Structure 1
Amino acid sequence: MSSIQISREKLQTNPIFRVLTSTSDTLGVDAYVIGGFVRDIFLHRLSKDIDVVCVGNGISLAKEVAKSLGSASLILFKNYGTAQLKYRDIAIEFVGARKESYSWAFRNPIVEEGSLEDDIKRRDFTINTLAICINQNRFGELIDIFDGLTDLEECSIRTPLDPDITFSDDPLRMLRAIRFASQLGFFIESKTFESIGNNCNRINIVSRERIVDELNKIILSPRPSVGFELLEKTGLLRLILPELTALKGIETREGIGHKDNFNHTLAVVDNLAKVSNKLWLRWAALLHDIGKPLVKRFNYRCGWTFHGHECKGAEMLKKIFRRMRMPINNNLQYVEKLVFLHMRPIVLSDNEVTDSAIRRLLFEASDDIDDLMMLCEADITSKNLGKVKQFLYNFKLVRNKLKSIEEKDRVRNFQPPIDGVEIMKMFSLPASKKIGELKLALKEAILDGEIPNEYEAAHNYLINLAKQRGIVED
């Protein structure tokens, strides 16, 4: 089957193109679907984002299509000459064919009207330059000026023009190249790859929000390590997340070396990607060991140690999130919690698991306990299969204990059955340090298993404790 037959068949199955075709013909404009939607047709991937370029006024075409569809919502961006239409679960972007020029200091282009060829030339990669005509007389005709179809078949990412110009003009394209390599399993053509390294410092003119958006897509790819290895090799990672490049390398003393913590981190993220698509859980895996370079020590008896790296790493996160313009909200708190606690189940798996230790882990991890356990299981990257098997078996024991304790003691997200207000009433005391100490003692007694998490037991415990401390008379 020819490429034209494939493209025509794919478009004909989508009723939205009947409206696009009839509206374009009525207005007398040449119109094309272009970019990612066309690329994904040949990759057999489902896409609900459609980019339409017309040789004429894109906004006028969008308005007429919206009228024909009736229930569609339309947003106009008159300053940019573009429009976005949303119809059911489909998003359509309209633009008139244009050409672009750039200044050195900014990545926002100067835009002028242009031909279809001008518009294709401004695209980032050849695999995104493919266009399909949607006018009736040429419906399904594939326009492939830069041999993008061959690059798709060869799984190659290449710029249509000189890559140094492409990446200098819009440095975000360097991250997009790496993101496509990670998402699609493609490789970056050698000249294009070399150009990313040559132009990596240009990334500094790109907003952190746009950078994080691309990083999120890399992190959510099937094998995130592909993207982060490319980021490191091109020099982009040291400019974006130097805390990760600081993990790279092996230091040896007295013939004793430690593992390369950068490679280990990527293995952890890949392990986690096999079992979870949660974005912030994958971020936690990516950043879980960033404290190691700051606490690394060599001891002649024990070799290399990284004591307290989980605490140091959790402390570093807020600064990183602020620098990257990432949300300082519950997502940060979630990542902080998992980084801070990620060694706790490993310690429990090495020793006899006590009920008290399990209760405290349940209390501190609360509803994120299952995510924490997934992170810890992904953290086992040893090449010693026997060691891996033993760790995973021990984690299974920890999971069973967690389930048993939770069913019995209900300490996940627990609040003591008697709060501070009731304690003040019990002993006719105002809010004070003594009340705080009694509350803390009650919580600790429940977590240590001295008393069950029940009202009567808590009441009796507080009465006895208050007598011992002379708060009330015996």
Structure 2
Amino acid sequence: MKEHLKHPIFSIISEIVTKENLESYVIGGFVRDIFLNRGSKDIDVVVIGSGIDLAQKVAAKAGNPKVSIFKNFGTAMLKFKDLEIEFVGARKESYNRDSRKPIVENGSLEDDQKRRDFTINALALSLHKDNFGELLDPFGGIDDLNSKIIKTPMDPMITFSDDPLRMMRAIRFATQLNFKISDVTFNAIKENKERIHIISKERIIEELNKIVMSAKPSIGFKLLEECGLLKIIFPEFQRLKGRETRNGISHKDNFYHTLEVLDQLVPYSDNLWLRWSALLHDIAKPNTKKFVKGIGWTFHAHNFVGEKMVPRIFKNMKLPLNEKMKFVQKMVLLHMRPIVLAQEEVTDSAVRRLLFDAGDDIDELMKLCEADITSKNEEKVKRFLDNFQLVRKKLKEVEEKDAVRNFQPPIDGQEIIDTFNLSPCKTIGDIKVAIKDAILDGIIPNEREAAYDYMIKKGKELGLEPVGKKKNN
């Protein structure tokens, strides 16, 4: 294993711990990722003794990079070249029932390995020169890596009860690495699921976002649903699951449909918020579901209802209540528009309106809509995707010709007031909307002269006479 410890930082640590006759080890994710052939820039170093003291001595020998000290946790961190190294003293932990914050005591390397969440994260490599690079694997982590298994070093019932966030981490690792969670470990998650209530929502969403950003997020969401955690942490999504049949007519299971959309989007976008848009695009279907005789199942206005649900979901889950949330709202609201266009003859007017409403997010919206085609009928999928190419072509043509993406009408409210000598009133808004609609419907070009003449025409229709002078912009 020595060949994986060639970075100068390991030589510096080795020299210090050997000279001072200390035991010190690289442990955790960095070691795991060596065996998975994945690069890692984060290094955890454990020492039998003071992690803070060792960090300060390493910094002094490494050109004095800044050491960040966290006395309450007995840890220290420094950045050296391209790596971030965290130092901690070996410890053993015990827990109170109502907190995931451990009571910490000094311990041995094995004590420290026992407190690790999973066997694959309990691997350690010695940094002492006498056995430099030697692997210490008391819980069979290498066998579990080879078998692609997630399990805990100790009794999983205790592991998950002590720190319930580890349940989310187990599912996250299973998703990211495409590993299986051992039956004993998974059953312990089921038994301890209610313990997740003591974990902050910020911690939960951090793990959930990592699942969303994985190569196949559906793995994680299916595991969350199966163990019962999903119902607790994301009840709105749980409600999508299931099919109902009436008069021999069933609707699709929107839980599995949504996960298929999310998986299909992954190769085309690493935008977390577009992936959240995929998760939430049909979130209002349970609220809007209705069986109509002679028609079947309908989900009328689920995009409008879904848009209104987004802020509450974001607030409950401690997701950001800013422009990222507004982006997701916009995607949920508009996700059906390109599909409707793809089913009908694509008119310039419909394309202008879509461009106006989507603005700079039109490309992201099209990715979402293409991922939303999940029919098992290959011919139907091909037809839709071919039509989407026509929609994309039309979007490009109309945008080049009419420049309506994020456009502002050439006439503003103040000019309407000045032209007709109006006090603030509803009529001003009516004229503004009429000008905007005339441009989007292709009645007039997106040009100031045409917009001014149209304003005069609409004003006269409303019984107004121009009194102000025409502005030259």
Q: Deviations over 1:185-207 (max 9, x none)?
A: 10001100111111111111100
Partner of residue 462 from structure 1, selected from 436, 439, 455: 455
User: Does structure 2 conserve the Cα–Cα contact (< 8 Å) formed by 1:353 and 1:398?
Assistant: yes
Aligned with 2:244 (options 251, 276, 284) = 251
Look up the equivalent residue of 2:5 and give its one-letter code.
L
Per the TM alignment, residue 350 of structure 1 is displaced from its structure 2 partner at its CA by 1.1
Q: Secondary structure, in 3 states, of the residue corresponding to 2:93?
A: strand
Give the 3-state SS of the residue equivalent to 1:221 in structure 2.
Answer: coil
Aligned equivalent of 2:91: 98
Unaligned runs of 5+ in 1: 1-6
**In structure 2, which of residues 26, 48, 55 is the aligned counterpart of residue 33 of structure 1?**
26
- The answer as to whether partners of 2:419 and 2:466 remain within 8 angstroms in 1 is no
In the alignment, is the contact (CA less than 8 A) between 1:72 and 1:88 conserved in 2? no
Please state how far the C-alpha of 1:421 moved relative to its aligned partner: 2.5
* Alpha-carbon distance in 1 for matches of 2:145, 2:379: 42
2:43 and 2:4 mapped to 1: Cα distance?
Answer: 13
Distance in 2, matches of 1:71 and 1:418, equals 62
Among 125, 135, 139, which residue is 2:118 paired with?
A: 125
Q: In structure 1, which of residues 398, 421, 424 is the aligned counterpart of residue 391 of structure 2?
A: 398
- 1:378 is matched with which residue? 371
- Distance in 2 (CA, whole Å) between partners of 1:436 and 1:89 is 57
Question: Which amino acid in structure 2 is aligned with residue 169 of structure 1?
Answer: D
Secondary structure of the structure 2 residue equivalent to 1:112:
strand
Out of 49, 55, 58, the residue aligned to residue 48 of structure 2 is: 55
For 1:301, the equivalent position in structure 2 comes to: 294
CA contact (8 A) 2:456 2:466 kept: no
SS at match of 1:79: helix
Match of 2:37, SS state, is coil
Q: Which residue of 322, 326, 329 corresponds with 1:329?
A: 322
Q: Does residue 160 of structure 1 match 2:153?
A: yes
Give the aligned partner of residue 10 of structure 1.
4
Shift of 1:227: 0.4
> Aligned partner of 1:11: which letter?
L
Cα distance, 1:450 vs. partner? Answer: 1.2
> For 1:417-455, what per-residue CA distance to the aligned partner results, in whole angstroms no more than 9, with x for missing partners?
222233333334344333222222211111111111111
Identity among equivalent pairs (%): 60
Aligned length: 467
Distance in 1 of aligned mates of 2:20 and 2:278: 53
Amino acid paired to 1:429: L
- Say which of 405, 412, 418 aligns to 1:412: 405
Would you say 1:353 and 2:346 are equivalent positions?
Answer: yes
Report the 3-state secondary structure (helix = DSSP H, G, I; strand = E; otherwise coil) of the residue aligned with 2:187: helix
Correspondence list, 1:307-322, <5 A: 307-322=300-315
Aligned equivalents of 2:10, 2:208: Cα separation in 1: 33
Are the structure 2 counterparts of residues 472 and 27 from structure 1 closer, same or farther at C-alpha, using a change threshold of 3 Å?
farther
Amino acid at match of 1:459: Y
Offset of residue 456 of structure 1:
1.4
Q: Which of 201, 219, 230 is the equivalent residue of 2:194?
A: 201
Decide whether the 8 Å contact of 1:55 with 1:96 is kept in 2: yes
Q: What SS class does the counterpart of residue 274 from structure 1 fall into?
A: helix
In structure 2, distance between residues paired with 1:418 and 1:69: 64
Q: What SS does the corresponding residue of 2:291 show, helix, strand or coil?
A: strand
Matched, 1:69 2:62: yes
Quick one: which amino acid aligns to residue 14 of structure 2? T
What is the identity, as a one-letter code, of the residue corresponding to 2:432? K
Separation (CA, whole Å) in 1 of partners of 2:173 and 2:335 = 31
Matches of 1:69 and 1:283, distance apart in 2: 43
Deviations 1:7-34 (A, max 9, x none): 211112x222122222333443211100
Would the aligned equivalents of 2:31 and 2:125 in 1 still touch at CA under 8 Å? yes
CA distance in 2, matches of 1:72, 1:459: 64
- Tell me the equivalent position of 2:223: 230
Distance 1:412 1:54, change over 3 A: same
Residues 427 and 26 of structure 1: CA distance in aligned 2, closer, same or farther (over 3 Å): farther
Alignment counterpart, residue 427 of structure 2, candidates 430, 434, 437: 434
1:168-183 matched pairs, under 5 angstroms: 168-183=161-176
Deviations 1:142-189 (A, max 9, x none): 000101001001100010000000000000000100000100010001
Contact 2:119 2:152 in 1 (8 A): yes
Tell whether the 8 Å contact from 1:269 to 1:378 is kept in structure 2 after alignment: yes
Q: 1:188 to 1:469 in 2, by over 3 A?
A: same
Residue by residue, what CA displacement relative to the aligned partner does 1:356-380 show, whole Å, maximum 9, x if unpaired? 1111111111111111111111011
Q: Secondary structure at the match of 2:232?
A: helix
Q: CA deviation at 1:389?
A: 0.5
Structure 2 SS opposite 1:472: coil
Cα distance in structure 2, aligned partners of 1:264 and 1:348: 21
Contact 2:33 2:39 in 1 (8 A): yes
User: Which letter maps to 2:283?
Assistant: I
Q: How far apart are 1:315 and its partner, in Å?
A: 1.1
Deviation per residue, 1:260-315 (Å, 9 max, x gap): 11111110110001211111111110111110011111122111111111111111
Aligned equivalent of 1:217 = 210
Distance 1:406 1:71, change over 3 A: farther
8 Å CA contact 1:27, 1:61 repeated in 2: no
Farther off after superposition, 234-243 or 429-438: 429-438
What TM-score, normalized to structure 1?
Answer: 0.96
- TM-score of the pair, normalised by structure 2: 0.96
Q: 1:147 aligns with which of 140, 152, 155?
A: 140
**Secondary structure at the counterpart of residue 290 of structure 1:** coil
How far residue 123 of structure 1 moved from its aligned partner, in angstroms, is: 0.2
Q: Which amino acid aligns with 1:382?
A: S
- Note closer, same or farther for the CA distance 1:442–1:137 as it changes in structure 2 (3 Å cut): same
The CA distance in 2 between the partners of 1:408 and 1:211, in whole Å, is: 47
Query: Is residue 263 of structure 2 the alignment partner of residue 270 of structure 1?
Result: yes
Residues 1:51 and 1:420: Cα distance change in structure 2 (over 3 Å): same
